[in-house]
């Protein structure tokens, strides 16, 4: 009877230790996954802000390059206005 009781105590102790160890490992694993997910979310948010700044800068540059003043300055240096020549055409009837 005592031998049987010792076996059940041993079995209970072993199962309890294994179960608690498994739960602890599971808890640590889930916590690490949460931390990793939070870090990934922060990286994504930082990347979004950085890319938004780049987009705003590019839009500003595009608006400047398409502005009337920029086009006028570029063309005034490259283009010369043609002076019309006067031609007199005589029509004899």
DSSP assignment of 67-90: SHHHHHHHHHHH--PPPPPP----
Q: What is the pLDDT of residues 31-47, one digit of tens each?
A: 999 999 999 999 999 99
Rounded Cα distance, 34 and 68, in Å: 53
Which residues does the chain have with pLDDT short of 50?
none
Is 64 among the domain residues? yes
Q: Is the pTM of this model over 0.85?
A: no
Dihedral-angle region of residue 28 (phi above 0 means left; psi in -120 to 50 means alpha; beta otherwise): alpha
Which among 26, 27, 24 is positioned nearest to 16, based on CA atoms?
24
Is 89 among the domain residues? no
Query: What is the reported pLDDT for 23?
Result: 98
Is 56 among the domain residues? yes
- Domain span at residue 50 reads 2-74
Query: What is the reported pLDDT for 93?
Result: 64
Is 79 among the domain residues? no
Is 39 among the domain residues? yes
Query: What is the reported pLDDT for 1?
Result: 62
Is 91 among the domain residues? no
Is 70 among the domain residues? yes
Is 88 among the domain residues? no
Q: What is the dihedral of CA 37, 42, 43, 46, to 10 degrees?
A: 160
How many domains does the chain contain in total? 1
């Amino acid at each position: 009877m005592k031998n049987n009781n010792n076996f059940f105590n041993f079995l209970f102790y072993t199962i309890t230790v294994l179960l608690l160890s498994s739960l602890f490992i599971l808890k640590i694993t889930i916590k690490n996954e949460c931390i990793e997910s939070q870090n990934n979310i922060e990286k994504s948010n930082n990347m979004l802000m950085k890319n938004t700044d780049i987009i705003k800068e590019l839009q500003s540059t595009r608006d400047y390059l398409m502005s009337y003043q920029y086009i006028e300055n570029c063309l005034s240096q490259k283009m010369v206005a043609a002076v019309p020549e006067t031609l007199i055409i005589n029509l004899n009837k």
